[in-house]
């Protein structure tokens, strides 16, 4: 990416961040949702506080959304990113995180998403979270986790009622087209991490 193009993308992101409410998709890639600001590493490196400060003041963001981003970070980088998210969220703001579920009962799914697995992008995965390991990381960053979808150690699926308008997760029990006829072929571990 040329320097001019990167600067243009950063300027456009900066313009969008002047709107309210401030809702940001981290690691959006080609994802775009109405009412949400899309960012990617070339415009906002979530591990760099200086990048956050280009667009936001601490305690100024209403909501953050990260679908299948955290598994690409080491545990220490994941904690660093969570702490930065916490710093820039408003009180009672939230970070909705979705990652591959390390307790999904299907071994084919787990092989697909594990670090170095057979699925697209899995060669860059650094960690396969369970609800317990993700909860520990988020609590360490200061968040109060509220789980929306996950499997437990017995293979039982848990789901809370959640609104897609408050952060759409396409790789979820409700929205992934691979889930049909009551079969949960592809789900995510989904959590709202709330700043109290």
CATH number at residue 47: 3.40.50
| Verdict on whether the full-model pTM lies above 0.75 | yes
Using an 8 Å Cβ cutoff, are 143 and 95 in contact?
A: yes
CA triple 170-175-176, angle to 5 deg: 75
pLDDT at 2: 74
Based on the structure, what is the number of domains in the chain? 1
The overall average pLDDT reported for the chain is 94
**How many angstroms separate the CA atoms of 60 and 143, rounded?**
16
Q: Domain range holding 157?
A: 3-194
Using an 8 Å Cβ cutoff, are 167 and 105 in contact?
A: no
Please list, in sequence order, all residues whose beta carbon lies within 8 angstroms of the beta carbon of residue 125, skipping any fewer than 6 positions away. 71, 72, 100, 113, 114, 115, 116, 117
pLDDT confidence of 192, banded at 50, 70, 90? Answer: very high
Percent of the chain clearing pLDDT 90 (strictly above): 83
Collapsing DSSP to helix, strand or coil, 85 comes out as helix
Instruction: State the average pLDDT over residues 66-84.
Output: 98
Number of residues written out for the chain? 196
Instruction: State the average pLDDT over residues 80-94.
Output: 98
pLDDT confidence of 60, banded at 50, 70, 90? Answer: very high
Q: Return the sign of the alpha-carbon dihedral for residues 133, 131, 32, 178.
A: positive
**How many angstroms separate the CA atoms of 72 and 148, rounded?**
21
Q: How far is CA 175 from CA 62, 65, 77, 80, 153, in A?
A: 24, 16, 29, 30, 24
* C-alpha atoms less than 13 angstroms from C-alpha of 64 in its C-beta half-sphere: 35
94-123 per-position pLDDT tens digit: 999 999 999 999 999 999 999 999 999 999
Q: Buried b vs exposed e over 128-164: b needs ≥16 C-beta within 10 Å? A: bbbbebbbebbeebebebebbbbbeeeeeeeeeebee
């Amino acid at each position: 990416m040329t320097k001019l193009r990167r600067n243009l993308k950063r300027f456009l992101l900066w313009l969008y961040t002047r709107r309210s409410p401030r809702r940001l998709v981290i690691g959006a890639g080609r994802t775009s949702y109405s009412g949400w600001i899309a960012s990617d590493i070339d415009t906002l490196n979530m591990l760099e506080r200086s990048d956050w400060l280009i667009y936001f003041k601490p305690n100024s963001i209403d909501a953050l959304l990260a679908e299948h981003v955290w598994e690409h970070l080491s545990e220490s980088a994941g904690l660093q990113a969570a702490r930065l998210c916490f710093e820039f969220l408003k009180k009672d703001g939230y970070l909705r995180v979705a990652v591959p579920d390390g307790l999904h009962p299907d071994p084919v799914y787990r092989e697909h998403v594990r670090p170095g697995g057979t699925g697209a992008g899995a060669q860059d995965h650094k960690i396969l979270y369970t609800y317990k390991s993700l909860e520990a990381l988020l609590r360490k960053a200061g968040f109060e986790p509220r789980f929306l979808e996950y499997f437990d150690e017995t293979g039982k699926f848990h789901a809370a009622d959640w609104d897609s308008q408050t952060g759409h997760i396409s790789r979820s029990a409700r929205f992934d087209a691979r889930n049909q006829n009551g079969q949960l072929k592809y789900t995510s571990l989904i959590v709202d991490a709330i700043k109290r």
